[in-house]
Structures are given as C-alpha cells and as structure tokens.
C-alpha cells in the first residue's frame, strides 16, 4: 500500500498526525467489531476485539506522547488507496458466529497492511526525518504482526461448518 501524493507527509509532525489517525481509526473499528459481536452474544470474540481496541488505543496514545500533546491533533481526512485505512478492517469479514481465530486473522491482515504502509513510506521520497519515523512505525507494526501470529497459534482453527446456525435469526428477531 502506497500513500497517495495528497496524503504523503512532508514533516514529522504531519507524519505523526497521520499515524495517530491510523491508530485511532483502527481502535474505533475494533470497538465497532466488539459491539457487533456483543449484539450477537458472541462474548469471546467481543472480548478479543476489545483487547485489540485497547492495544490500538495504547499505540495511538504513545504517538500522542511522541507529539508532546495531551489532546488529539486536528487530523485532516487522509485519502487512503482503499476504502479502509491502512490498519482498519472491513466489516465484510464479520460473521456473528465467528471464532477467535477469525478475529485474529482480521487483526493479522490489518497489521500486515499497516506494516506495508509504513514500510513503503520509509522508502518514499520524503524528508529523512519522516523516513526515519516511518521506519520506526514499520518496525512496531512488524512486531504486532509477530504478536498476532503467536496468538493465532494458541487458538483452535475453526472446523468446517463453523458458520452453520441450526436456529438462524429471522427477520422478526
């Protein structure tokens, strides 16, 4: 994933604001995912999405600290290459019967996209300080990829038919 010219940061402050936006958006989406799972009484997956939300919030807050701020920056609307930001999962991957493995697969996909975004920015024709900051963020995202891969190894892979519901919801429920 490559940042479009209209959203390529030219200063470290712009870069950090963009990174903040990415992390804030990811935290918000995991919150949305958790709420969807709670609606369907899928508490195990909802709790996992809440944990992922807290991780993204922590990363967002670390960036805020790097910026020397206690309040969020005014963030312009960035133009991403896809409909979703670099670390934001699409709702299309949700299923009310999904299992922790599925949630972690979504998270792994998001972290890989974030790594690719920052890694490519680190190679772009941007000021050296922005390149260095992007390299640092790419390395953090690489660590997140490793962490999610470790978590995936600890949960069972869903059996075929995991999405079959013997009593599916109806339009009146």
Give the per-residue pLDDT at 48.
94
Instruction: Give Rg (Cα) of the chain.
Output: 18
* Residue 88 lies inside a defined structural domain of this protein: yes
Q: How far apart are CA 72 and CA 19, in angstroms?
A: 12
pLDDT tens column, 19-55: 999 999 999 999 999 999 999 999 999 999 999 999 9
* Residue 2 lies inside a defined structural domain of this protein: no
Centroid of chain to Cα 67 = 20
Expressed in percent and rounded to 5, the helix, strand and coil fractions of the chain are: 60, 0, 40
* Residue 166 lies inside a defined structural domain of this protein: no
Domain residues for the domain of 72 are 11-153
pLDDT tens column, 120-135: 999 999 999 999 999 9
Over residues 75-83, the mean pLDDT reads 69
Are the C-beta atoms of 9 and 15 separated by less than 8 Å?
Answer: yes
CATH number for the domain harbouring residue 131: 1.20.1260.10
* Residue 173 lies inside a defined structural domain of this protein: no
* Residue 158 lies inside a defined structural domain of this protein: no
Give the per-residue pLDDT at 100.
93
pLDDT tens column, 106-121: 999 999 999 999 999 9
Give the per-residue pLDDT at 2.
42
Give which of 10, 29, 3 is closest to 106, Cα–Cα. 29
* Residue 4 lies inside a defined structural domain of this protein: no
- The three-point CA angle 25-69-127 to 5° equals 75
Measured CA to CA in angstroms, residue 124 lies from 21, 61, 116, 127, 157 at distances of 20, 26, 12, 9, 38
- Total domains in the fold of the chain: 1
Confidence label for 167 from pLDDT (cuts 50, 70 and 90)? confident
pLDDT tens column, 56-75: 999 999 999 999 998 888 77
Average predicted confidence (pLDDT) for the chain? 89
């Amino acid at each position: 994933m490559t940042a479009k010219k209209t959203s390529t940061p030219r200063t470290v402050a712009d870069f950090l604001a963009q990174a903040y936006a990415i992390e804030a958006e990811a935290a918000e989406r995991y919150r949305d995912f958790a709420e969807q799972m709670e609606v369907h009484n899928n508490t195990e997956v909802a709790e996992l999405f809440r944990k992922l939300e807290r991780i993204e919030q922590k990363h967002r807050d670390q960036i805020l600290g790097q910026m020397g701020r206690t309040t969020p920056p005014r963030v312009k609307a960035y133009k991403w290459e896809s409909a979703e930001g670099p670390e934001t999962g699409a709702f299309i991957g949700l299923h009310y019967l999904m299992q922790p493995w599925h949630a972690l697969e979504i998270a792994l996909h998001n972290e890989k996209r974030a790594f690719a975004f920052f890694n490519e920015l680190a190679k772009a024709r941007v000021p050296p300080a922005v390149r260095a900051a992007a390299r640092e963020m790419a390395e953090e995202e690489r660590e997140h990829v490793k962490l999610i891969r470790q978590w995936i190894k600890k949960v069972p892979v869903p059996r075929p038919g995991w999405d079959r519901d013997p009593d599916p919801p109806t339009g009146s429920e």
